Amino acid sequence: MTGELSPIDKAKFAAARRAAELVEDGMRVGLGTGSTAAWLVRCLGDAMREDGLRIRGVPTSTRTAELARQAGIPVIGLDEARWLDITIDGADEFDGDLNLIKGGGGALLHEKVVATASDRMVVIADIGKEVETLGAFPLPVEVIPFAWQTTRALVEETLISMDVLGRDVSLRMDGEAAFVTDEGNYILDLHLKRIGEPRQLAMVLNQIPGVVENGLFIDICDTVVIGFGDGRVEVRDLGSGTVERESFDPGEPDNLFRDIND
């Protein structure tokens, strides 16, 4: 399918194409989940066909694994890869310290495992994902199905003592049934509005019985590649403190991933 991209899709594609340039021949690459990460998969597939790039990909979801195979990227598991050179993934929110909220696509557990098993974690996002304070996007928390309502009650009780503005907790649904992750778990979405102490909240949530993992990614992201609707790209590196700005025309690629949501 070919056609003019919307500004948001153009921003995502611009960020993905710039991030793909960070991938070098022979790398083991963590492949994220979501619409922006799907653009990355397509860009890497193009580089393999057109430029001879040789990589192996470790997907963070069954969806991404399928997209990677379609793009011609060899797919392996993390245990086979053992350690990754780079992971590139999207984010639902990121702040000035490159702390993230992830999990809007339901793959937060695999995403966090893969990201922390990498030498470098790069986030690709459109400029609309940048926030001053995390929390406007609902925070996903993956929980086991057994007694999930009890776990929700424990989460709600815990939030009373946390520095947040909202405390509503909802079970994520997929139509009439509960959404189920690749690990067979449920997701609770925490509508917090503002998270004053994300590091503390992440630690406390993971101490609750029944909670598998939460969508706060603290001190994991090293670099963020931000795309703009006019094709501009900004690369911020936390370690070096550098900011690079570039401008290019991303063109009008076949948009194969319009149905993939972050």
Q: Read off the pTM.
A: 0.92
pLDDT digits over 25-47, tens only?
999 999 999 999 999 999 999 99
Please give the single-letter amino acid code of residue 84: L
Query: Given pLDDT bands bounded at 50, 70 and 90, which one contains residue 251?
Result: low
Task: List Cα–Cα distances, 131 to 99, 100, 101, 143, 190, in angstroms.
Answer: 10, 10, 11, 26, 17
Q: What is the pLDDT of residue 252?
A: 54
- Residue-wise DSSP of 31-46: E--SHHHHHHHHHHHH
Residue 141 has pLDDT above 80, yes or no: yes
Residues forming the active site: 111
Q: Which residue has the tokens 């009890």?
A: 150
Which are the contacts of 51, defined by CB distance < 8 A and separation ≥ 6?
none
Instruction: Please indicate whether residue 13 or residue 251 has the higher confidence score (pLDDT).
Output: 13
Q: Is pLDDT above 90 for 253?
A: no
Angstrom distance (rounded) from CA 170 to CA 177: 13
Kindly state the average pLDDT of the residues 71-100: 97
66 vs 1, more confident: 66
DSSP string, 161-185: TSSBS--EEEE-EETTEE---TTS-
pLDDT, position 113: 98
Examine the pLDDT at 112 and tell me if it is beyond 70.
yes
Q: Would you state the pLDDT for residue 79?
A: 97
Q: What is the pLDDT of residues 184-220, one digit of tens each?
A: 999 999 999 999 999 999 999 999 999 999 999 999 9
Domains of the chain, first to last:
7-129+219-247 (3.40.50.1360), 139-215 (3.30.70.260)
CB 220 within 8 A of CB 121: yes
